[in-house]
Amino acid sequence: MTEVIVLNGGSSAGKSGIARCLQAVLPDPWLVLGVDTLLDAAPASLQASDAGIEFAPDGQVAVGPELRAVEAAWIEGIAAMARAGARVVVDEVFLSGADSQQRWHKALHDLRVLWVGVRCDSAVAADREVARGDRIIGMAASQADAVHRGVVYDLEVDTTHAEAMECARAIAARVTSSRP
């Protein structure tokens, strides 16, 4: 059975909503951990620092070497949790596209992973970004396509017109169909 579900999509694509719905519809308990979890746990010194993470006024995001090192440990920690028996939904933004996926592949190499692309039309994601009020305007548009470049998925969902629960049910169907 699937041990890790990796949801990759741009900011405001709907990944967090899908993750919460997955917790409701999947038969076993699943933990949700995401890039926001990592950033919330990071010290202030890594926020708005060229060694950590910088959010440009136009929505571009730059990740520095210190945050990359912390991220590598975090990824290994999530993999260790899955190996110890926790089922994990990863709510992620592959800022480096295929390179980001490769970092996760390396850590999750011996686990059963379902790779899910969460797509959303950039204009719709941008509208959601404005409505949320907690994101830098421009982030959703800059990430909508870039995070998917070169990434290989087992399944893709599109939240442009589909609700989070509908997407979660499609993902859950794939997960439960792989049960022994």
In the block, residue with structure tokens 């204009």 = 123
Phi and psi torsions of 48, nearest 5°: 55, 45
Structure tokens at 87: 């089922």
- The one-character DSSP state at 155 is E
91, 32 Cβ separation under 8 angstroms:
yes
What's the one-letter identity of residue 74? Answer: W
Residue ranges of E strands in the chain: 4-8, 30-34, 53-55, 61-63, 87-92, 113-119, 155-158
Of the residues 36, 50, 99, 145, only one is catalytic, namely 36
Q: Is 158 a catalytic residue?
A: no
- Angstrom distances, CA of residue 67 to CA of 53, 81, 171: 7, 21, 30
Which of 143, 116, 146, 115 minimizes the C-alpha distance to 128? 143
78, 31 Cβ separation under 8 angstroms:
no
Q: Looking at the annotation, which residues are catalytic?
A: 36
